[in-house]
Chains A and B, each alone.
Chain A
Amino acid sequence: MNSSPNSRSVQVCGVGIWFPGVPSAGEFAAGARGFDSTGDELPAGAALHPRVRRRTSRLSRAMVEAFEQAATQAKLDRASVATVFGSAFGESATMLGVLDQLCRGQELSPMNFATSVHSAASGAISINNKNRAFTTSLSADNDTAAAALLEAWGVLQQMNVPVIVTCGDERSPAEFIGDADRFELLAVSLSLLPLGMAVPSGEKALGHLSFAPAGSAADLRPEEVPGSIARNPQAGFLDLAATILAGRSGSVRLDRGKGNASCVHFEATP
């Protein structure tokens, strides 16, 4: 496909990654592929005000970690950046906790109910950063990353502002998803800028991202990560992040073969 920037291109200027055993994009890039992803590690969420952090789930904290890395690398203003959050299953662990309380006749925790909503991370980050700009929270199963990137592209075009896209999914609920399909917590974030906008960090953009025409094939293979991460609905977004971190150019499929086969092309800045 054409590798020069086109009308459906955006600049990429920051990457964030969090999953158990790999707390940052830097550690991922350094080759921490052989980790144990099955732990119950709680993301620090250190950027959150303690009052907000207390009300934030493991998934939301992982999304905060990824978001913070991407924002920091690009030096984007957290109080004004537009944000798009994606998750196939949302706050499934919190929701199932509420459901379990309900079905066992226990009193529901109002805080757990309030933070069981899909947009919990969107709300927490907006509140924490006093950001009144655009934010959304969406889902499209295994095509969630592709949907989030397209939504972000629309926002970039219409509002001409930086956008941080963060996608994540909590560990699969054991009650509902069988052993063969089980996955671990993963969150990935990218900082995007409209073409032509200077990167606030003063650095060059990492490259530009273009939507591939429907039916395009990926020319880059998925990253080798443990199966518990490879099965996460956001694993394709991790593949894209890995491609960007490695400075490779090529097309990446965003659904790991389980969705509508959406691809994006990344062209690394020389």
Chain B
Amino acid sequence: MMHRLPLPITAYGVCNALGASRQQVLSALMEARSGLAPVTQSEALELPFTTLVGPITESLPSLPAELSAYSTRAAGVAQLLLDQMQAELVRARERWSPERIGLFLGTSTAGADVTEAAYRHYVAAGKLPPNYDFERQHAYGAILDLVKQLAGISGPSWMVSTTCTSSGKPFATAQRLIETDVIDAAIVGGIDTLCAMTLTGFGSLGALSAAQCKPFSSERDGINIGEAGAFLLLERSGDARALLEGVGESSDAYHISAPHPEGEGAELAMRGALAQAGVEPNQVDHVNAHGTGTPHNDIAEGKAISRVFGPHVPVASTKGYTGHTLGAASATEALFSVLSLEEGLIPKSLGATPLDPRLEISVAHETLRQPVRRVVSNSLAFGGNNVSLVLRSV
């Protein structure tokens, strides 16, 4: 595989259960403070079981009046993320022109939360609520129109929906289209919001934990679901916060909802990303693992990490902070990886003690403060769809 030129990440916006700003999120990671909490009435989720979720607790901005037809929770998250990146977006638009800036986002739920409420109304009243707009609120592409208008960009755009890798694959798309001169820059990332259908669906699969998730622990028994948004601005050149060095994409070709037990697809993705970056495994200082906290995922991913990196590289899952944010997970964790590079921080892998003795990896049991030059961030999805990113400090 050909070695790719690193792409600067010049700006980002973040919002999840840890907060709605870089500083809030960084503080929580440094203090090993989880954002997971029991489901409350304010989340409007009626569940027939107990679990924890990672909700966005900050109030979200309203859309400008002329865009109010797009109003959803995800739209509010998008507005908040773009507000955090505003100055760099203005600069990028002036530098590259709006039609040379792409938009590639990921989601697994799209507007399912709004549709869920609308459908409940439909079941009760026989008609949809008057303010419900399927194309502007539910459709996968709805958020694209909104973000393009808010960000003032008009390049190619699409939404990737490959469940838990949805917001990782856009990094590869942007890389390809910048490299081939279709665009000069792109906003990449993803948004997913909480809804009862997703929670109940994962409940039906027996994948949810009733307590806080425990990635890599011998006591792990499932995931917690969270909601989040993360946008990153990738440019052909510019003042970088961090660099995207490589992306590996692979398939398990094994099972629609279970990972390959040996993590073969995950290994392919990691090796592909390293090859694209042109680096050896021993040049990686930290792995931000997918680490969901399910019995199957963590052992499979642990085996793959062990085969690629050996037993010493510090591994952490950040699912214990935010929950599994599904379509937003990949971008959220890429952004955590950027924070690791900027701050010399390896977050404590919450819930990992007691460690599963079968794992031959070095899970970070405490927050580590040390120089971090390069991070690999993994995302592994339903259907055996895998993405690994290699990110490097400036």
In the complex, A3 Cα to B262 Cα: how many Å? 49
Question: Are B197 and A99 touching (Cβ within 8 A)?
Answer: yes
Tell me if A88 counts as interface (CB < 8 A to partner B). Answer: yes
- Contacts of A8-65 to chain B: CB distance below 8 A: 55
Q: How far is the CB of A103 from chain B (nearest CB, A)?
A: 5
A109 to B250, CA, bound (A): 28
**A154 lies within 8 A of chain B by Cβ:** yes
Give the interface size class of chain B: 35 or more
A89–B257 alpha-carbon span in the complex (Å): 21
Q: How large is the interface on A (under 10, 10 to 19, 20 to 34, 35 or more residues)?
A: 35 or more
B385 near A154 (CB under 8 angstroms)?
no
Q: Which stretch, B67-75, B83-91, B199-207, B216-224, touches the partner chain A?
A: B199-207
Is the C-beta of A220 less than 8 angstroms from some C-beta in chain B?
Answer: no
| Docked pose: A141 CA to B203 CA in angstroms | 30
A131 part of interface (Cβ distance < 8 Å): yes
Q: How far is the CB of B125 from chain A (nearest CB, A)?
A: 12
Contacts of A173 in B (CB 8 A): 134
Q: Answer whether residue A90 sits at the interface, using C-beta atoms and an 8 A cutoff.
A: yes
State whether A114 touches B205 (Cβ < 8 A): yes
**B162 sits at the interface (CB 8 A):** yes
Contact B173 A151 (CB under 8 A): yes
Question: B384 within 8 Å of A by Cβ?
Answer: yes
Residue B144 interfacial (CB < 8 Å): yes
A-B contact count (CB 8 A): 177
State which of B5-13, B135-143, B328-336, B361-369 sits at the interface with chain A. Answer: B135-143
Q: Which of A103, A110, A114 contacts B123 (CB 8 A)?
A: A103
Within 8 A of B (CB), among A111-132: 113-120, 122-124, 126-127, 129-132
Does B200 contact A175, Cβ atoms closer than 8 Å? no
Asked if A198 is an interface residue, CB under 8 A from chain B, the answer is no
Alpha-carbon gap, A127 to B139, bound state (A): 27
Cβ of B382: which chain A residues have Cβ within 8 Å of it? 114, 117, 119, 123
Question: Chain A residue with minimal CB distance to B134?
Answer: A176
Q: Which residues of B contact A119 (CB under 8 A)?
A: 161-163, 381-383, 385
Question: Are B159 and A126 touching (Cβ within 8 A)?
Answer: no
Chain B positions within 8 Å of A, measured between CB atoms, are 2, 99, 108, 110, 112, 115-116, 119-120, 122-123, 128, 134-135, 138-142, 144, 156-163, 169, 173, 176-177, 179-180, 182, 196-197, 200-206, 249-257, 264-265, 268, 381-385
Additional 20 contacts, C-beta under 8 A, given A126-B383, A150-B182? A88-B139, A90-B110, A95-B197, A103-B120, A103-B123, A108-B204, A109-B204, A110-B206, A116-B201, A122-B383, A126-B252, A127-B253, A132-B264, A136-B249, A139-B141, A154-B177, A157-B179, A158-B179, A175-B119, A176-B134
